[in-house]
Structure 1
Amino acid sequence: MEKWIGASGVCINRNAQILMVLQGKPEEKKVWSVPSGGLEKNETIEECCIREIFEETGYEAEIVKRLFVKEGVSYGFEVEVHYFEVKVVGGNAKIQDPDQLIYDIAWKSADEIKDLELSFPEDRNLLIELINKKMVF
């Protein structure tokens, strides 16, 4: 089985909302996800995370910390996805995805995430938990 390696950026703003994108192939139903994508040749996993956020959302970001690595099988591929907490340091919301798979960019609250159709439903509780942790000062 072919292995896909990628990165996801989890960005939570001061309003306790996560940066998310609505994505899918033209013929597919569109679903929500944190910005993410595949590792390119000669790129570190951290560089992949930052590049994907910029391509999918127009925001410039920097990594705050590594969160975890998710491994398993998804859509028929063995996957290894590195999740990072990131913060926006510049840019503006703008879809500029070279793959043309992004249809919307939005900041979503924990309550909204409960009802969203996600690309990776197994991430739902994790995303809500990360928002709730950020709300504790």
Structure 2
Amino acid sequence: MDNYSIQARVTGVLIEEKSILLVKHTDKVDENRFWSLPGGKVEQGETLEYAMKREMFEETGLNVEIQRLLYVCDKPEEQVSRIHFLFRVKKINGTITLPSNLYDDNNITDIRFVPFDQLEHLNFSKVFMNLVFNDFPDAGHYKGHKSNIGL
């Protein structure tokens, strides 16, 4: 039997006043972008909800609750195949704070709410911007490859 592994990842979409919360990394998160949505891998023994709350707090200093599942996507071509769960989250409390970056290979250097109309300047795809501007149509569904949501 082949040794096969798959990794679950969670990503949070926090929107306030037509702006979306993003984190900036020291290295590119894809070929064109340093900015991304907060999130990360689900650790052994964690629920998706717990992982989402933990990742948001670790990366942004904010406590959140999950409002709804937006999309499930996959990225099987990675060295470890990945399933991505994209959640809409709501801020409960906390203050935006840069993380310690002790455990990350790609450090976070900035965190900010970015107006929707500025996403293009940060090299987000038109596919992703269309989803944001249209309040994530077809939410709650499997969308196939992660590129289908423009990330």
Q: Say yes or no: TM over 0.5.
A: yes
Are positions 1:126 and 2:128 aligned together? no
SS at match of 1:130: coil
CA distance 1:123–1:77, change in 2 (3 Å): farther
Deviations 1:90-113 (A, max 9, x none): 000101244342110010111111
TM-score (norm 1): 0.79
Segments of 5+ residues of structure 2 without an aligned counterpart are 138-151
Aligned position for 1:31: 34
Partner letter of residue 16 of structure 1?
K
What is the rounded CA distance, in whole Å, between the counterparts of 2:5 and 2:123 in structure 1?
26
Any conservation in 2 of the 1:55–1:98 contact (CA below 8 Å)? no
Q: How far off is 1:129 after superposition?
A: 3.0
Q: What's the C-alpha RMSD, in Å, of the aligned pairs?
A: 2.8
- The number of aligned residues is 129
Identity of aligned residues (%): 28
Q: How does 1:89-104 map to 2 (within 5 A)?
A: 89-96=92-99, 97-100=101-104, 101-104=107-110
Aligned position for 2:56: 53
Aligned position for 1:109: 115
Aligned position for 2:83: 80
TM-score (norm 2): 0.72
Q: Which has the larger radius of gyration?
A: 2
* Structure 1 runs (4+) greater than 6 angstroms displaced: none
